[in-house]
Structure 1
């Protein structure tokens, strides 16, 4: 395995596990008061762009990692939008 593959694998694991605690906490508690909307919007958008790059270049690890982080970021962002805009209107 090439050193760049090893570094890429470590980065992929770190990215997925970096998003996981916040996603699990948000899904369990439904609390999003301390989450910056713009942060999760931009991180999700960036991950989605990297996922597309992974598809276009045939880089499956890049695609899978960023697909997972896009999904997790979208879950948190969706709950945040629901809490901020729909729940408060009731």
Structure 2
């Protein structure tokens, strides 16, 4: 049974979950409620997930983690700049 569709659904939903936080943070520049340590670890973890997806040649993992990395890195960058 090919369950790759489940990977696409999971990747889409988890990636989209970061969009509201990224938009709110970009607009408000308010990063007081964001943990610096959590975003550093999370951003590195997302980069590792991308590498794992690349090793497996898994497009859902690679695409979703590229987008999630960009969103998380943006939030992390704003935390470092305004935090």
TM-score (norm 2): 0.90
Partner residue, 2:22: 23
Q: How many residues align?
A: 83
| Partner-residue secondary structure (3-state), 1:53 | helix
Partner residue, 1:64: 63
Give the Cα separation in 2 of the matches to 1:14 and 1:55. 20
Structure 2: 5+ residue runs without aligned partners? none
User: How many Å apart are 1:45 and its aligned residue?
Assistant: 1.0
Where has structure 1 moved over 3 Å in runs of 4 or more?
none
Alignment deviations for residues 7-28 of structure 1 (CA, whole Å, 9 cap, x no partner):
2122111111111110011111
Give the Cα separation in 2 of the matches to 1:60 and 1:34. 33
Give the Cα separation in 2 of the matches to 1:83 and 1:55. 33
Give the Cα separation in 1 of the matches to 2:5 and 2:54. 20
Partner residue, 2:13: 14
| Partner-residue secondary structure (3-state), 2:17 | helix
Structure 1: 5+ residue runs without aligned partners? 85-90
User: How many Å apart are 1:5 and its aligned residue?
Assistant: 1.5
Higher relative contact order (CA 8 A, sep 6+): 2
